[in-house]
Structure 1
Amino acid sequence: MSPQEMKQLKLNRIYKALLSLLADHPLSDISVSVLCRNADVSRTYYYRNYKSMQEIISRHQEMAIKSYLRILPHAAHMNFTQLMTAYFRLMQRQSTENILLINAGLTDTLIKTFRTVYLFLVDQKIIDSSNTRSHHRYFPSFMAGAVISIQIQWIQEGMKETPAEMGKMLNELFSFAAQK
């Protein structure tokens, strides 16, 4: 197993252990020792790789979103509607863990993660950032807060709209209709 694969395996284990613990305990009651024991990783591994349990969530979510986008056909040439459709498709698949994170009060972590991935997509030129407002320094935070807020409402209301409908709706809400 390559070092990268081992790193991903350990991240998956510690993330799943954290989710399992969050199902029964508030985040503040979860100790690093218990988390590491449940994940079968050392405390040294935890402290060498993470500053907080929220960072575990962020890194796993970022990895999942980036991995998902990489497997999509023509991922490098997607418009905003297609990107949001793909995002909501992934969030639909991960709805159980998202509910757990939302109920644990970790929406700030979800917002931070979305912002990080959004900036990555802009940097990789997967998202067109040529319009004026995209260059505003607060726009990524605005975008992340809005999308995650909508995602939370969508999940809590039972995901009645399809991911494609959510992609179109977000495109309209953000007025990206001119992008192709």
Structure 2
Amino acid sequence: MNKKSLQTKEKIEKAMFSLLTTISYDQISVAEIAKEADVSRTAFYRNYDQKDDVLKKFIDEQYQIFIADIEKNKLLTLMEELKTYLSYFKRNPHLMEILLNAGFEGVLLNQQTIYLKKLIQTRHPELQLPDYAYSFQSGGIYMTLVWWVREDHYQTPVDTLVQYIQKHLEFNTK
């Protein structure tokens, strides 16, 4: 991808999140995103098919950053990886608030479930979880994250959350 295209994508992404702080997602149009990003609608459509793609691409990129962080720090256990995952949101507190307030609960849960399954299958194949278990585990982790953001406002330490999740979400390691 060339530098100009990358800059355009970054401008569009920033514009989308800027708009989400004041306008509901349903009310945001591609034209408004393009205007806020100071790019043409043609430039938007050169990079994305629709506004949903901006969010999906952003989540994808964040997952890649998460995986790179895991590999860079040579994390070996799922709980260490979970700690890194939750710490990301603590370092970026407004991100999850914006996404939740925009009504992306279902999208976020679905994406997290996809990534959790991929993470476990590639980094912890010994767990051999049935498909329904990924949904169950992801749901527990996700709802803990939502509670932490909306109700607790990141007050509970990450280690406390990870210990609770480890205790209550049994990953079959036998």
Fold equivalence (TM over 0.5)? yes
Contact 1:65 1:90 in 2 (8 A): no
Separation (CA, whole Å) in 2 of partners of 1:115 and 1:143: 8
1:1-180 aligned within 5 A = 3=1, 8-72=6-70, 75=73, 77-123=75-121, 125-126=122-123, 128-132=124-128, 134=129, 136-156=130-150, 157-176=152-171, 178=173
Instruction: Provide, for residues 34-74 of structure 1, a one-character-per-residue CA deviation record: whole Å limited to 9, x for no partner.
Output: 10221234433433543443332232122123213313465
Contact 2:14 2:37 in 1 (8 A): yes
Separation (CA, whole Å) in 2 of partners of 1:35 and 1:86: 31
Higher mean alpha-carbon deviation, 45-54 vs 112-121, is at 45-54
Separation (CA, whole Å) in 2 of partners of 1:52 and 1:144: 27
Separation (CA, whole Å) in 2 of partners of 1:51 and 1:89: 32
Q: Tell me the C-alpha RMSD between the 2 structures.
A: 2.6
Contact 1:111 1:144 in 2 (8 A): yes
SS of equivalent to 2:146: helix
Contact 1:15 1:56 in 2 (8 A): yes
The alignment's TM-score, normalised by the length of structure 1, stands at 0.80
Greater RCO structure (CA 8 Å; 6+ sep):
1
Contact 2:5 2:47 in 1 (8 A): no
Relative to structure 1, the CA distance from residue 139 to residue 59 in structure 2 (aligned partners, 3 Å threshold; closer, same or farther) is: farther
4+ residue runs over 6 A deviation: none
Deviation at 1:166, TM superposition (A): 1.9
Separation (CA, whole Å) in 1 of partners of 2:83 and 2:6: 26
Contact 1:17 1:38 in 2 (8 A): yes
Instruction: Provide, for residues 113-159 of structure 1, a one-character-per-residue CA deviation record: whole Å limited to 9, x for no partner.
Output: 21232233235x22x13334x1x223333333322211010112121
Identity of aligned residues (%): 19
AA aligned opposite 1:129:
P
Separation (CA, whole Å) in 1 of partners of 2:5 and 2:117: 23
AA aligned opposite 1:80:
L
SS of equivalent to 1:105: coil
Contact 1:99 1:155 in 2 (8 A): yes
